[in-house]
Amino acid sequence: MNLTLKIWRQKNANEKGRMVEYKVTDISEHMSFLEMMDILNESLVAKGEEPVAFDHDCREGICGMCSLFINGEAHGPDRGITTCQLHMRMFNDGDTITIEPWRATAFPVIKDLIVDRTAFERIQQAGGYISVNTSGNTQDANAIPIPKFDADRSMDAASCIGCGACVATCKNSSAMLFVAAKVSQFALLPQGRVEAADRVMNMVHQMDLEGFGNCTNTGACEVECPKGISLENIARMNREYLKASCR
């Protein structure tokens, strides 16, 4: 395939960015999107030009670092995948592909397609820890009966990889789906109930401090989430927050 790429280039956080057009040729439909980006960068380096900076790590859909906004969609046109799992067969020969970083005040651009997502880390840190009594013999993991339905919902929430697609695709740049997933994975289990009230209050407060917008139930976040995190988690977080506020 021969493609035209329109890529956001920005030297650093303090300088203005702009879209720059590149041509790539002989791209195999079996390549991943990031492999295509690697080929582009190899050609730029060969010509003595600055390669395009973008985040990646595991390239297995686990770490969530490959955060690209492709043709107006977080992680591109496929569903239930991260950018590193997107293949070039989703595009056609001669296509023009627009590639941008996440767009949110709370995710400032570091360089080109890389954004600073440490706001997510601060929100998780605000949630604190889980208190577990470890005096004496350590309690067996199976000693506390947990309904399978609750355990499954907790695991579903815990599958959130914190990529930020929910924020990037939300018209308000809301982090509600991410925060709700992190609140829910503990709120559904007895081990997380000890600090449940403080956790939800602190995490929501930190989310607001970071400058994320509020949720208006559009549902775009659930659609674009590579792990399919459900909007039900937001409803659960709101209930937890209301209960904690009435203490």
For residue 19, tell me if it sits in a domain.
yes
pLDDT for residue 141? 65
How would you classify the pairing of strands 69-70 and 114-115?
unpaired
138: in domain: no
Q: pLDDT, tens digit, for every residue of 133-163?
A: 666 666 676 777 889 999 999 999 999 999 9
The range of the structural domain enclosing residue 58 comes to 3-100
Whole-angstrom Cα distance, residue 137 to residue 191? 17
What is the b/e burial string over 35-69, where b = at least 16 CB atoms within 10 angstroms of the residue's CB? bbbbbbbeeeeeeeeeebbbbbeebebebbbbbbb
Together in a domain, 194 and 82:
no
CB atoms within 10 A of CB 132: 9
- pLDDT for residue 136: 64
Q: What's the structural domain count of the chain?
A: 2
- At residue 131, the pLDDT reads 73
Number of C-beta neighbours around residue 220 at 10 A? 17
Per residue in 94-133, pLDDT (tens digit) is 999 999 999 999 999 999 999 999 999 999 999 988 776 6
**What CATH number does the domain containing 216 carry?**
1.10.1060.10
- The CA distances from residue 117 to 42, 170, 173, 239, in Å, are 27, 16, 13, 27
pLDDT of residue 91: 97
Tokens at 161, concatenated? 């990889």
The residue type of 90 is: M
Q: Do 185 and 224 share a structural domain?
A: yes
22: which residues sit within 8 A by CB, 6+ positions away? 4, 5, 6, 7, 40, 44
Of 123, 119, 223, the C-alpha closest to 183 is 123
Q: Is 13 in the same domain as 56?
A: yes
Residue 105 in domain: no
Burial classification of residue 71, based on how many CB atoms lie within 10 Å of its CB (0-12 exposed, 13-18 middle, 19 or more buried): middle
Q: Is residue 109 part of a domain?
A: no
Q: Within this chain, do residues 85 and 206 fall inside the same structural domain, yes or no?
A: no
Task: Give the per-residue pLDDT at 134.
Answer: 62
Residue 241 and residue 123 in one domain: yes
The answer on 87 and 151 residing in a single domain is: no
3-state secondary structure of 192: helix
Evaluate whether residue 222 is within a structural domain: yes
Tell me, what CATH number does 68's domain have?
3.10.20.30
Residue 106 lies in a domain: no
| Shared domain check, 168 and 81 | no
